[in-house]
Amino acid sequence: MSRLKDNKQLRNGIIFLTVILFVAAAAPLLATHDPFKLNEDILAAPGSKYLLGSDGLGRDVFSGIIYGARTSIMVGVIAAVISAVIGVVIGGIAGFFGGKTDLVISEIINIFLMLPSFFLILIVVALFGSNLFNMMIIIGLTTWTSNAKLMRAQALSLRERTFIKAQMTLGKSRGRILIEHIIPNGIFPIIANTTMNISQAILLESSLSFLGLGDPNLISWGQMVYQGKSYLVNGWWVSTFSGLAIVITVLAFYLIGDGLNNVLNPKLRAKK
């Protein structure tokens, strides 16, 4: 517990994330306007009426950013969880079973690593539609390789431990050992990596929205940056403030991920 308190990165990341989660949860209370409502005040500068100004359609930027937090957090968390589950299962099987199973799965992982994931996501979104559900599934299905490699390395190490060999000697099935011992004992690096993958998922969703492939029925920071790029000269606040929201949120998750890695990784702890 003291290591958690002493880690400045983790502490600062948690503070940032707590504020972001509060803003997302309390969006109806904090928003000063309906973020979807079109007003006559087009490109109004930041002021008392519109705290962060209005966009090219007269919508309040401040309210849009607050509601956009919900979209970004939801995409990041769900996509990262999908990525973690796939990576843990595949990596655990490869590392624990070894042999031909490991060889085949390792080659599959290498193939996915060589694929240009962002362009693959672009193609799939263009083919199957740019709704939020599709986006979360696609991002999760294309970002699992790092978790798989981490879990494979953990499983390769853990299967040589005495308590694992004892379970095998007692006749317990490999499937049960994998679920009950390998994954629970090897999950810690994946937790830290998954936190960072949330940042990656948020950036991917923002990038797709910036390219006009976001869900048009939802408010997204990437869409706000995309919509504001046409008004950078006389409406710089539209893209600037929504871009800052992306940067702060991504930074929060990176700080937490890096902090967790320092706390949970015994090799890094030993160096300090």
Q: What CATH number did the domain enclosing 82 receive? A: 1.10.3720.10
- In a domain, residue 95? The reply is yes
At 111-151, the pLDDT tens digits run 888 877 778 888 887 787 778 888 888 888 888 999 999 99
Residue with tokens 């199957």: 128
Residues 6+ apart with CB under 8 A from 21: 73
- What predicted TM-score, i.e. pTM, was given to this entire model? 0.86
In terms of pLDDT, which residue wins out, 5 or 202? 202
The SS3 assignment for 24 reads helix
- In a domain, residue 42? The reply is no
Of 267, 180, 245, residue with least CA distance to 19: 245
User: What pLDDT band is residue 220 in, cutting at 50, 70 and 90?
Assistant: confident
- In a domain, residue 231? The reply is yes
- In a domain, residue 26? The reply is no
Is the pLDDT confidence value at 252 over 70?
A: yes
- In a domain, residue 129? The reply is yes
Tokens read off for 262: 């320092």
Is the pLDDT confidence value at 255 over 50?
A: yes
Is the pLDDT confidence value at 98 over 80?
A: yes
| Tally of domains within the chain | 1
- In a domain, residue 256? The reply is yes
> What is the span of the domain harbouring residue 205?
2-19+52-266
Check the CA dihedral 214-218-222-227 and report its sign.
Answer: positive
In terms of pLDDT, which residue wins out, 128 or 62? 62
